[in-house]
Amino acid sequence: MNHLPNSIEARDAAVHMHPYTDARALQQNGPTVMAKGEGVHVWDTNGKQYIEAMAGLWSVGIGFSEPRLVEAAAKQMAELPYYHTFAMRSHTPAIELAEKLIGMAPKLENPMSKVFFTNSGSEANDTVVKMIWYRANAMGQPQRKKIISRIKGYHGITIASGSMTGLPANHGSFDLPLPGFLHTGSPHHWREAADGESEEDFSKRRAQELEEMILAEGPDTIAAFIGEPVMGAGGVIVPPKGYWAEIQKVLKKYDILLIADEVINGLGRTGNMWGSETCEMQPDIMVSSKQLSSSYLPISAIMLNDKVFEPIADESNRIGTFGHGFTGGGHPVAAAVALENLKIIEERDLLGNVREVGPYMQEKLGALTAHPLVGEKRGIGLIAALELVTDKQAKTALEKPGALGARVGAAVFEAGLICRNMGDALAFCPPMIITKPQIDELVGKVEGALDQVAGELGL
């Protein structure tokens, strides 16, 4: 840290409390302050260049400093800088974005029919919980309020969405999860399968465990099941063969709604427009954010089918309103930017780039499983993770969980590459515009960092 009293780092540490941060460590060491971004790169205030291999926070799909998004924001700011959508008001950007999303939605047995706008994935998932509770009351099922998510799932950090998240750091000292939020096992075959258990058998066991939980709680008390098609922040966990087919059989049997959290997966990341398509899911509700605007401005969208919408609409008519919403929900500038962002994804065929460059990234990272510190490579499209170990047979790392991930993550960062260490997994989620030569550079920096730490550990 630059300890000069007027340095930007010292100023930040003096006044700014950061999310997902050790507050005392920040006060002591200060932050890395980013100054600019372009394409797949960002630069800090000292002029150091990094490959942003996390696309910010899984989110800058079309890359940094795209002029068309800047222009879309400025144009809308000049015309209608703000308006809300409360009480039968609307504006053109929200209408056009809703139309666009419904048109882009997967072809489902019960198709998406309505869009509700919020400002973040956490707000969206929190809203979904309220919608489901509201719907249950509308249907004369006041007991049907419980929601099942999964260990290692990530659905946000507000009180309800944080309760659905299945990670210890999001629960500890927060008194979460709230009652009525249940967690079934994660789909991580490599880590959690029994010896010799095939992917198909593991998937069937996870579905059986889910059914046992539903029966123990009472099927008429379970409202919904929420899941990311491919888990993101829990370690980039790709579901094993048959997983979603088996899970959906159980949900259908007990008429339990399926919520697809597409906040990370959606809009191209897995090689299809939606992770639900990649994983052959039939959701009743889909939640999108992050790549919706490439995170140039905060916006999120909930898509729902008529099975969900119609009882809510009836109840709002009975009461006189659906008493929920956000001042900035569907903000016209954010909506205009999101609409332009979606046009760019389509016009530049970024799905095509993911389908070409994604397998190349998976192959190159997969080759690193020969390294003494890598136990598993997992991923699909342009999202991947390396599980770090010091003992491949035992699948264990250093004595303190996460210590190896932090150490390799720091070495990668020093080499000019931004990834994310989540426990002892290193995650990669670069902008969807990345090229094969840039993938080569990315993997080279990771390999160098792995070699450095292996040498320090004497491996």
Q: CA 190 from chain center: how many Å?
A: 21
Domain end point (choices 347, 376, 391): 347
Domain end point (choices 330, 347, 364): 347
The enclosing domain of 447 has a CATH number of: 3.90.1150.10
Q: Are residues 329 and 415 in the same domain?
A: no
CA torsion through residues 207, 202, 266, 375, sign: positive
pLDDT at position 307 is: 98
Domain count across the chain: 2
CA distance 179 to 57: 29
- CA distances, 323 to each of 87, 134, 161, 340 (Å): 10, 10, 19, 30
Domain holding 372, by residue range, is 32-62+349-457
pLDDT at position 5 is: 74
Residue 421, in any domain of the structure? yes
pLDDT at position 2 is: 56
pLDDT at position 3 is: 59
Residue 16, in any domain of the structure? no
pLDDT at position 427 is: 98
Whether pTM exceeds 0.95: yes
Residue 428, in any domain of the structure? yes
Q: Are residues 379 and 449 in the same domain?
A: yes
The enclosing domain of 296 has a CATH number of: 3.40.640.10
112 closest CA partner among 271, 244, 306: 306
User: Mind listing the pLDDT tens digit of every residue in the chain (459 residues)?
Assistant: 455 678 999 999 999 999 999 999 999 999 999 999 999 999 999 999 999 999 999 999 999 999 999 999 999 999 999 999 999 999 999 999 999 999 999 999 999 999 999 999 999 999 999 999 999 999 999 999 999 999 999 999 999 999 999 999 999 999 999 999 999 999 999 999 999 999 999 999 999 999 999 999 999 999 999 999 999 999 999 999 999 999 999 999 999 999 999 999 999 999 999 999 999 999 999 999 999 999 999 999 999 999 999 999 999 999 999 999 999 999 999 999 999 999 999 999 999 999 999 999 999 999 999 999 999 999 999 999 999 999 999 999 999 999 999 999 999 999 999 999 999 999 999 999 999 999 999 999 999 999 999 999 999
